[in-house]
Amino acid sequence: MSNAATLTRQGVALQGQGRHQQAVQCFMQSLALKIDDAVTHYRLGVSFRDCGMKLEAAECFRTALALRFPDELFARGLLAYMEREGCRWASAEAEWRALEAAIAAQPEGKPLQVNPFVHAVLSDDPLRIRRVAEHYARFFAGFVKPLPPLRARAHGGPLRIAYLSADFQQHATAQLMVQMLEAHDRRRVEVTLVSAGADDGSDMRQRLKRACHRFEDLHGATHEAMARRIRALGIDVLVDVKGATDGTLLPVLAARPAPLQLEWLAFPGTSGADFIDYVVGDPIVTPLAHAAHFSEKIAQLPNCYQPNDALRARPAATSRAAAGLPGDAIVLCGFHQSFKISQAVFARWCELLQRMPQAVLWLLEWNANVRESLLAAAVAHGIAPERLCFAPLLPLEQHLARLACADVFLDAWPCNAHTTAGEALWMGVPVVTLVGETFAQRVGASLLHQVGMDELVCEHEAGYVESVAALAADAPRRAALRERLERERTTSPLFDGERFARDFEALCERLWARACAGLAPEHQPAIN
């Protein structure tokens, strides 16, 4: 019989291959031999998380911490996040306070393995988000050996841009950027996709391969090997499209494989890294007045920082009956990953249901645990359980078809909808958002600005409730907004991949010319 350590190593290897159910079996067998191993409990939690078993994952992280798991801050962040994913708000708040206290107890400037994504999406304090990101970036910089310095030099040929991600597959990031990649002017730019993720065999994967000059499949390679390959390709501009999300590739960028390095799209906030030169945003998500929120210099695109695929399907609307919705109700749609639904957000949604007896709240059943938690919370607010409707996760085209059944899309905060808000607007559904000070809470405002609906951007919670209630009660206005969105679908920069590609190329060329001139990075306002 294998010993516990061997079984845990086998489980970790299976995790790396995305085979989480088999990994769970290995970890369970390991714990049967050695029940008090903190690392195995933590690893089991990771696999439970990726299997959608969020509450089980939370219990594993909690046990790992009780057993003095060495990476306490990272595990504590995951625990707080898992509790939010399960909409167990009291526990999530307690774990969040414990995490903040543990970080505050650390010396200023110390490299820490603490999860910046948790702070970027759960915190409304942009300076705190930056501090956590800087801790995390220093952690990587501490063990990564940079490659020999490389100066930016003009070479007369097309600008060599590489996009780095583990999500070049059927993934929200790929869905957003694929048409932009296809639209790149091959006379101006030579595009390389550096892929650290597994080949999922999807049509999207094949479409991405066709969209670039070179597709570098580096799945399974070390971060050092990835950096060396990027350097060998002679890349001018390296664009990180992963950020501090799960499976981060920041160690690759810490090696400085390219003379100019940008952060864009995947992570709603600062990298905290001194080895990334610019964060690419727009005048709304990254206003120059917010420069102190970012370790990088801000580089603004003239329109929304988020591209969209105008070549994707726009299917006919599913019937409400087929979507499991009452035919005569006002449908308020809150299609969010469950971590975005805070106690405050849900309280406001319940307030809307109290004001509008004819309305239902339509939610994604994002994980196996969330329905029970949200139904209990609704009852506590005096809302009958049948007024909450739950939608299963579906393939993109089916998801878009049912989305059109909604009357109003309810944005969340402090982390707005990103991809899903764009999908709602694409399908003609008006979005009401609450703007804040963080990148993540300004995305909705940026999207709405591009379709000329700034009136649906609210600055405080009470105004948000009033705006939703007024729109829900005004059927002619909703119809007019749908008609406007139908026009915007073919005219707005938000859905113009060709225009986005030209804007991105122009920005990269401007940044590259500055670097070649020997000038240090500096904030770059949008040029229309």
Mind giving me the DSSP string for 39-88? Answer: HHHHHHHHHHHHTT-HHHHHHHHHHHHHTT-SSHHHHHHHHHHHHHHTT-
Helix (H) or strand (E) holding 213: none
Are residue 77 and residue 173 in the same domain, yes or no?
A: no
Are residue 229 and residue 255 in the same domain, yes or no?
A: yes
Are residue 251 and residue 341 in the same domain, yes or no?
A: no
* In a domain? residue 36: yes
Are residue 483 and residue 508 in the same domain, yes or no?
A: no
What percent of the chain has a predicted confidence (pLDDT) above 90? 93
* Digit-coded pLDDT (tens) for 312-326: 989 999 999 999 999
- Max intra-chain CA distance, the chain: 71
Average pLDDT rounded to a whole number, residues 276-280: 98
* Digit-coded pLDDT (tens) for 440-487: 999 999 999 999 999 999 999 999 999 999 999 999 999 999 999 999
Are residue 371 and residue 296 in the same domain, yes or no?
A: no
The predicted model scores a pTM of 0.95
> Is the pLDDT at 347 greater than 90, yes or no?
yes
* In a domain? residue 253: yes
> Is the pLDDT at 1 greater than 50, yes or no?
no
Spatial CA neighbour of 235 closest among 279, 277, 191, 203: 191
What is the tally of structural domains in the chain?
A: 3
Are residue 339 and residue 481 in the same domain, yes or no?
A: yes
* In a domain? residue 387: yes
- How many Å apart are CA 442 and CA 172, to the nearest integer? 19
- Which residues neighbour 143 within 8 Å (Cβ) at sequence distance 6 or greater? 251
Query: Which has the higher per-residue pLDDT, 52 or 41?
Result: 41
> Is the pLDDT at 232 greater than 50, yes or no?
yes
- Quote the distance between the C-alpha of residue 513 and its chain's center: 30
* In a domain? residue 115: no
Are residue 170 and residue 305 in the same domain, yes or no?
A: yes
Average pLDDT rounded to a whole number, residues 407-417: 98
* In a domain? residue 133: no
Average pLDDT rounded to a whole number, residues 179-204: 96
Average pLDDT rounded to a whole number, residues 408-435: 98
Average pLDDT rounded to a whole number, residues 279-307: 98
> Is the pLDDT at 245 greater than 60, yes or no?
yes
Average pLDDT rounded to a whole number, residues 56-70: 96
* In a domain? residue 127: no
Are residue 416 and residue 472 in the same domain, yes or no?
A: yes
Average pLDDT rounded to a whole number, residues 162-190: 97
Q: Which two tokens stand for residue 171?
A: 């993934």
Are residue 339 and residue 438 in the same domain, yes or no?
A: yes
Choosing from 109, 128, 143, the residue where a domain stops is 109
Burial status of residue 261 (CB atoms within 10 A of its CB: 0-12, 13-18, 19 or more): buried
Are residue 173 and residue 286 in the same domain, yes or no?
A: yes
Are residue 366 and residue 302 in the same domain, yes or no?
A: no
pLDDT of residue 108: 80
* Digit-coded pLDDT (tens) for 485-518: 999 999 999 999 999 999 999 999 999 999 999 9
Owning domain of residue 193: 159-310+499-516
- How many Å apart are CA 345 and CA 343, to the nearest integer? 6
> Is the pLDDT at 239 greater than 70, yes or no?
yes
Average pLDDT rounded to a whole number, residues 155-164: 97
* In a domain? residue 232: yes
Average pLDDT rounded to a whole number, residues 53-75: 95
Are residue 166 and residue 291 in the same domain, yes or no?
A: yes
CATH value at residue 399: 3.40.50.2000
* In a domain? residue 456: yes
